[in-house]
Structure 1
Amino acid sequence: WATQVDATLPGRPQRDPLYLYAGLAELSWTISVSDAIIENPLLPWPWWGMLAIVLASFWVISMTLFSLEVAGWRMLSLGRWLGRWLALELAASVVVAVAALVYGHPLALTLLYGASVVTSMIFAFFFIWKAARGALLPHKMVAAAMLLNTLVGVRDLYVFRLSQGYGGNTYLRYSSVLFGLTLGYIVIQRFRIASGQARDLNANLAARVAQKEQELEQSYQRVEQLAREQERTAERSRILRDMHDGVGSHISSAIRQLESGRASQLDVLQTLRDSLDQLKLSIDAMNLPPGDITALLANLRYRLEPRFVATDIALQWDVDLLAPLARLDGKAMRHLQFMVFEALSNVLQHAHASVLRIELHATPQGGAQLRVIDNGCGFDPDRVPRKGLSSLQERASAIGARLQVSSAAGGTVVEISLD
């Protein structure tokens, strides 16, 4: 009873009372019939006799309630009224036991048994009538046992309470065995059905879990595929944007130089070289390790060092091997690459320098400090066009870096601090 929960009842799930009534009936019947075989009762007289009377009534009541559950009548008005009457009968059995054995009124016991027999006969009539009209097998089995025990109970009532003779033996203690066997069969069958339903439920649940896992796996695959497509789309957009901002800008400048007629062939060639370098660097940026500034500078050196050599600019390389900065993702690395490229391109085009020094060192805060230093002619930041410096400042802000540009007649220093 404690482990069998009936989820089919209205309201919240409840324990199936059929198992409780079966257990109480068998327990009360066992103790009540043990009076015939126990020579030294556990309780003194008249308490032992009173206990036997109450338990006999309790057995009849428990079996009636058990039959009520088998028929499915508990929720009907008949079941509710019968339950109240049986509760009254149980309370009366205590009073009758005291009156009969303590105060010497055996007639009270006869009236109690008579009321119990009448109640059982009326209930048995309706129960057997329902079973005869096509009830289930458990209902019919209980009806047969109930008919036999009711007839035997009437016989015992007559022999022991109404007849003037003495002696005889009660048959009810033997016929009740049939009730016990029927009860045990029904309980076992119900338990088997409940266990089968639990197994089916577990199997169904396992199948549903497997189905949901498969659906979830498919969903993850779709999400992963969508993420890869979005990543490819974002990468294509980045390449197009870099080509527009870098290569496209340099090609547009070269076209304007040619259209104006004032630019020299060397200036146009320099602009086209910048465009080609920018294109190569945009492609290289696709394979840059995130946060690895040392690799970024090494790639720039590989691409631009031939141009430094061609223009007689000595390159001084003071770059430490730093651990990658976790906060610099692919987008931030591209911003940083553009900033350094712009600084180096300005040295090639405008500085007229003979020495270019690139420094990269770690900061005490765990960041990095990058410096591009030349010994060129320098410039006045207040007098040159602000577009280039503004672009560098915007990119520095985008990656959370500090940009400082200082220039004088002896050279220029572009410092990028990443804390």
Structure 2
Amino acid sequence: MISAESTPFTQWLRGWLAILFLLLCMLICLQAKAATTEITEAELAQGQFSASSAAQGQWQKVALSDVWRRQSPCRQGIWTYRIPVSIFPDPQDRSLLIYRAGNRLRFLLGDTKIGEAGEFQNQDTDVSNHATMLKLPAASQSDGANTLYIQVAGDCRRYSGLSQMLAGTYEEIQPLHGRKVGIFIWSTVAIVVVCCILCFVSLSAAILYRSFNALLFGITCGFWALRAWLWSMHALPLPYAVWFFLIDLSFGIWMSLICILAMRINHIRLRWLELAQWITLAFFLGSSVALVFGAPPLFKALGIDLVVLAGTGALISIMVQAFRKPAPGNIAVALAGFVMLILGMYDHWNVWMTTAPDAYQRFYFTPLIVLFFILAVGIVLNLQYMRAMRSDAQYKKVLEAEVSRQRAILERHHQALAQQARQEAVTSERERIMKDMHDGLGSQLVGLMSLVQTAPQQQSEIEHELQQALDTLRATIDTLSPSGEDLTTVLAQFRFRHESRFKRAGIQLHWRVKPFSSTEWSSNGLIQFEQMIREIFTNIIKHAGASEIWVDAGTNTEDNFLFIQDNGKGFDASGNSGRGLKNLSQRATEIGIRLSIDSTPGIGTTVSLYWSLMRKN
């Protein structure tokens, strides 16, 4: 069941149709004529005449509008039209409105020059795009001027000739002239401003987003703004041939590129049709250049027809696409293109083909309707951009979700690898401890067994060996399961378990240990650290022959430190170190401790350990 509520697209379409209808109604109303006398015929003679030389001319009656290039042969140079002033209803208030005339005009009342439109002797002046108003002086009984002469200078390359005219009072003619000039000026301003804004926005988007469609749209808007600006001139800033060539260039480039762009944004991939736009554009530009060098105007008309024909094919393909796959974008372009095509053909018919008397002065719709087509294309580009932005935002959300998922997977893998590394470290340490138990505790027990069997009476020696074996076993157990994760606790536990051993060995222990700062270590790091302490004290007991040991530990501004000093016999630290010292150095390197051994024979040895704050292995 179809909902009675209109869709946003329907509302948008109705709005555009209403605007277009109001614009056409306004133009029709502005075209309405006041109660004036219409002049539809005049006498014409080739040459430049006034009242004193009129008898020399070969005058013929012609219908207005009189378009020169529709004549055979085409008129060139200066021709003079004349009309009787008796056609003006009020001899004291006489004004004349000429809808269109080209290219330059001079007005004479009898033999007296009363005005010009454009610089009559300047061939680079062109007033054919503007309505012209002439106010005649009030008639007097003595002047005897009863004929108005209109001298027209032009050629077949231009819109030369004379349109129909309106005769009446100033109050009747001036508002009509003001409306026509106002329509022309404001329509031109609207086209130039809108196209320049669209050109700037599109070229900026093309640079920022590297969009070829935006580049094409910006170029087409720029060239149509250039054409509208050039077409509004009548005092030309450059030679006429160059001026008109630029107008043709702007039209041809706009027509071809806008059709290519319209096909692209509607996803019409007909390479032959796109190639036709480029070929007809090249032919059109060639015909315009040929016209500059004197080729017949018909040759240029053929170039325009080919461009329009290729563009018509593109617009038809867009309409077919809109019918097959209706969507707001291609329907908008198809409707705007259809209206532009119909009114463009109407303008083309009036300019080049029809023999209707008023065709020469009819309103030219193409510049305005082209603006609607440009806006329709711009709307489609904007819709596509908005869809792309929404798609990009959705893609970013999906990408962020995928990144989060992958991050979670990586974290799980990292945790698994860390757990595996810890397990491998524990396994490796257990294997090492088992080897130490086998080599150390095992050999001690075997020696003790031999001593018991051979010399059971040596009780003190057996007790000493048992104590050493017990100490070795305790140290091994400590390395397997360190208590806590703080180095201060590790040192305190070591002292508790081994201080009695030092006393039996006749060694006095001086203990000055302060709490460490930020000493959170991993289990493997604590095991390695405690093993280093055990090896240091074992070496002192076995080899140093010391009577006192000083332990000093704590924290300074940069490091944690531990000093172990004895008053034993010392050794030469510069010589080759034994296996025990090499193992000690290797352990220190593995857990990031800076190890320093300072020993002097006969004085003692100091072992210094440093490690950075906030260290976690």
1:341 aligns with 2:561: no
- TM-score when normalising by structure 1: 0.69
1:399 aligns with 2:584: yes
* Distance verdict in 2 for CA 1:416–1:257, change over 3 Å: farther
Give, in whole Å, the separation in 1 of the partners of 2:461 and 2:203: 94
**Cα offset, 1:298, TM superposition:** 6.0
Give, in whole Å, the separation in 2 of the partners of 1:296 and 1:97: 108
Structure 2: stretches of 5+ with no match in the other structure: 1-201, 517-524, 553-560, 570-576, 586-595, 610-617
Give, in whole Å, the separation in 1 of the partners of 2:598 and 2:309: 104
1:128 aligns with 2:319: yes
* Distance verdict in 2 for CA 1:78–1:16, change over 3 Å: farther
Deviation string for 1:99-140 (max 9, x for gaps)?
4xxx47433331221222222233344443444344544333
**Structure 1 match to 2:449:** 255
The residue type paired with residue 394 of structure 2 is D
1:23 is aligned, of 218, 224, 227, to 218
**Cα offset, 1:231, TM superposition:** 4.3
Structure 1: stretches of 5+ with no match in the other structure: 6-13, 375-391, 407-411
Secondary structure at the counterpart of residue 240 of structure 2: coil
Aligned residue pairs, count: 369
The residue type paired with residue 334 of structure 1 is Q
**Structure 2 match to 1:143:** 334
**Structure 1 match to 2:306:** 115
The residue type paired with residue 182 of structure 1 is A
Give, in whole Å, the separation in 2 of the partners of 1:243 and 1:254: 15
The residue type paired with residue 580 of structure 2 is R
**Structure 1 match to 2:252:** 57
Q: CA RMSD in A?
A: 4.5
* Distance verdict in 2 for CA 1:231–1:51, change over 3 Å: same
8 A contact 2:350–2:362 mirrored in 1: yes
Give, in whole Å, the separation in 1 of the partners of 2:237 and 2:562: 88
Deviation string for 1:209-252 (max 9, x for gaps)?
22223223333333343344344444544544443343333233
**Structure 2 match to 1:201:** 395
Give, in whole Å, the separation in 2 of the partners of 1:163 and 1:198: 53
8 A contact 1:29–1:59 mirrored in 2: yes
Secondary structure at the counterpart of residue 568 of structure 2: strand
Secondary structure at the counterpart of residue 176 of structure 1: helix
Give, in whole Å, the separation in 2 of the partners of 1:123 and 1:179: 14
The residue type paired with residue 54 of structure 1 is L
Give, in whole Å, the separation in 1 of the partners of 2:342 and 2:283: 20
- TM-score when normalising by structure 2: 0.49
8 A contact 1:405–1:413 mirrored in 2: yes
Structure with greater proportional strand content: 2
**Cα offset, 1:333, TM superposition:** 5.7
Give, in whole Å, the separation in 1 of the partners of 2:227 and 2:541: 107
Which structure has the larger Rg? 2
The residue type paired with residue 502 of structure 2 is E
Secondary structure at the counterpart of residue 361 of structure 2: coil
Deviation string for 1:130-180 (max 9, x for gaps)?
443445443333233333322332322222123455332322223323312
Give, in whole Å, the separation in 1 of the partners of 2:347 and 2:203: 36
The residue type paired with residue 70 of structure 1 is I
Give, in whole Å, the separation in 2 of the partners of 1:395 and 1:79: 89
Structure with greater proportional helix content: 1
8 A contact 1:26–1:180 mirrored in 2: yes
1:178 aligns with 2:372: yes
Secondary structure at the counterpart of residue 271 of structure 1: helix
Quick check: 130-139 or 26-35, which moved more? 130-139
- Correspondence list, 1:206-217, <5 A: 206-217=400-411
**Structure 2 match to 1:307:** 504
Give, in whole Å, the separation in 1 of the partners of 2:419 and 2:408: 16
Secondary structure at the counterpart of residue 373 of structure 1: coil
Give, in whole Å, the separation in 2 of the partners of 1:265 and 1:182: 112
* Distance verdict in 2 for CA 1:32–1:332, change over 3 Å: same
**Structure 2 match to 1:33:** 228
**Cα offset, 1:343, TM superposition:** 5.0
